[in-house]
Amino acid sequence: MSAKILVVDDDPNVQRLLSFTLKQEGYEVIVAGDGAEGFKLWAQDPPALVLLDVMLPKLDGYQVAAKIRAEEGGSGHVPIIMLTAESEVEQKIRGLRAGADDYLVKPFHPAELLARIKSLLARFAPRDMLVGRPPLGRVLAFYGAKGGVGTTTIAINTAIALHRELGRKVCLVDANLQFGDHRVFLDLGLDRKSIVDVVTAPSIDADLFRNVVVKHDSGIDLLLAPPSPETAELVTKEHLAHILETLRGLYDYIVVDVDKRLDDTNLGIFDAADTLFVVMTADLSCLKNVRLVLETLGHIGYADDRVKLVLNRSNAFTGINVKNAEGALKRTIDHLVINEYRGAISALNSGAPVMFTKADSPLGRSFHDFARAIEKQPRAVTGSALVAPAR
């Protein structure tokens, strides 16, 4: 049976062109000429996907998207592609915040439209079919060999790439308990619920997480760090182990952004992780730290194949190239993320991650490649690698 697509656009020429293109590909098409009619047609018989113009009579595209999302609640998710005449980042962010999954700037090539429709239908359809499928339950820990190497940037964007590009259900955990940055990177206020709401609840179970995780517009769920450094003390190593174990039963990937202390709490997170990504840049002090981290992990019996090195800003000129770094560490670097300072810093300052608003940029593609490589990785055997040796 062909998928039904709802086209909401007031321009008869666009309506005709889109109908023709989509029908030629075998889709069933219904057309609405204004926002109110678009919403009505969606509500009468929800289509497989909505193409939504921004400038519409009665209700504009943002309002229609927001109304659809409000009406859907948690019960479903129709993919929405926003068709916009504006290419400004703010407009795109507004569209995405209103609930769109993707956007296309007019004029666009029909082939691009069809490719995006296919990708969105593939991303959302399998989820319905796989209801009841057990989640992969893989814990990925991201640990910076030094402060400021880009650990948070990589954890956030990888989490979004695993969801948006690969259709995985993802929870991103900010385990930088005292100075977590995710509220800043994702433009969320201090009023949002956090891990403190988990550890102060009478019991930690799946239902609790449904109420505490923050739903980000990109589609990933967030377990935020405490709103202030004092409350961080409430979260113990045992809590974290229990939290990660419970999240395993709910998500395909649990992406944990770990702060740079090598203390008991963080070793507990490493222990729970299927893979530990050590993030580094190509400079001497970072190489020194990576060596120390690898040595320490070796001493405590952490399996070498669970550790992967991620070289961030890999093509930045530092005088040390990938080969030099590998030579100094006597091991291969597993993943490279490219350098794009302007893209990374403006994403941080606008609260809109690159993978959310600029997935097609070179940096976005770099995260996408990284997520794909993670997906291909065989699952490591986890266990109590870090339990203290018997005395």
Ligand X SMILES: Nc1ncnc2c1ncn2[C@@H]1O[C@H](COP(=O)(O)OP(=O)(O)OP(=O)(O)O)[C@@H](O)[C@H]1O
Among residues 147 and 202, whose Cβ is nearest to ligand X? Answer: 147
Q: Is 353 in the site for ligand X (CB under 6 A)?
A: no
Nearest residue by C-beta to Mg ion?
Answer: 152
**β-bridge pairing 214-215 and 253-258:** unpaired
Q: Is 184 in the site for ligand X (CB under 6 A)?
A: no
Among Mg ion, ligand X, none, residue 339 binds (CB under 5-8 Å by kind): ligand X
Which of 130, 190, 345, 381 touches ligand X by CB under 6 A? 345
Which of 123, 182, 216, 313 touches ligand X by CB under 6 A? 313
Q: Is 148 in the site for ligand X (CB under 6 A)?
A: yes
Which of 312, 333, 335, 352 touches ligand X by CB under 6 A? 312
**β-bridge pairing 214-215 and 275-280:** unpaired
Which of 134, 147, 189, 378 touches ligand X by CB under 6 A? 147
Q: Is 275 in the site for Mg ion (CB under 5 A)?
A: no
Q: Are 355 and 220 in contact (CB under 8 A)?
A: no
Give dist(CA 230, CA 334) in Å, integer.
37
CB of 141 to ligand X, least distance (A): 13
Which of 83, 219, 340, 364 touches ligand X by CB under 6 A? 340
Backbone φ and ψ of 356, nearest 5°: -90, -45
Q: Are 98 and 66 in contact (CB under 8 A)?
A: yes
Q: Is 194 in the site for ligand X (CB under 6 A)?
A: no
**β-bridge pairing 221-223 and 214-215:** antiparallel
Which of 170, 348, 359, 374 touches ligand X by CB under 6 A? 348
CB of 228 to Mg ion, least distance (A): 17
Q: Are 279 and 151 in contact (CB under 8 A)?
A: yes
Contact set for ligand X, span 33-52 (CB under 6 A)? none
Residue for token digits 């569209």? 95
Contact set for ligand X, span 53-112 (CB under 6 A)? none
Q: Which stretch binds ligand X (CB under 6 A): 37-45, 54-62, 141-149, 226-234?
A: 141-149
Is residue 319 packed enough to be buried (19+ CB in 10 Å), middle (13-18) or exposed (0-12)? Answer: exposed
CB of 344 to ligand X, least distance (A): 3
# residues contacting Mg ion (CB under 5 A): 2
Contact set for Mg ion, span 129-168 (CB under 5 A)? 151-152
CB of 266 to ligand X, least distance (A): 13
CB of 266 to Mg ion, least distance (A): 13
Q: Is 149 in the site for ligand X (CB under 6 A)?
A: yes
Give dist(CA 20, CA 38) in Å, integer.
19
Among residues 10 and 369, whose Cβ is nearest to ligand X? Answer: 369
Among residues 342 and 391, whose Cβ is nearest to ligand X? Answer: 342
Which of 100, 172, 325, 344 touches ligand X by CB under 6 A? 344
The string over 161-190, giving b where at least 16 C-beta atoms fall within 10 Å of a residue's C-beta and e elsewhere, is bbbbbbbbbbbbbbbbbeebbbbebbeeee
Binding site for ligand X (CB under 6 A): 144, 147-153, 181, 312-313, 337, 339-341, 344-345, 348, 363
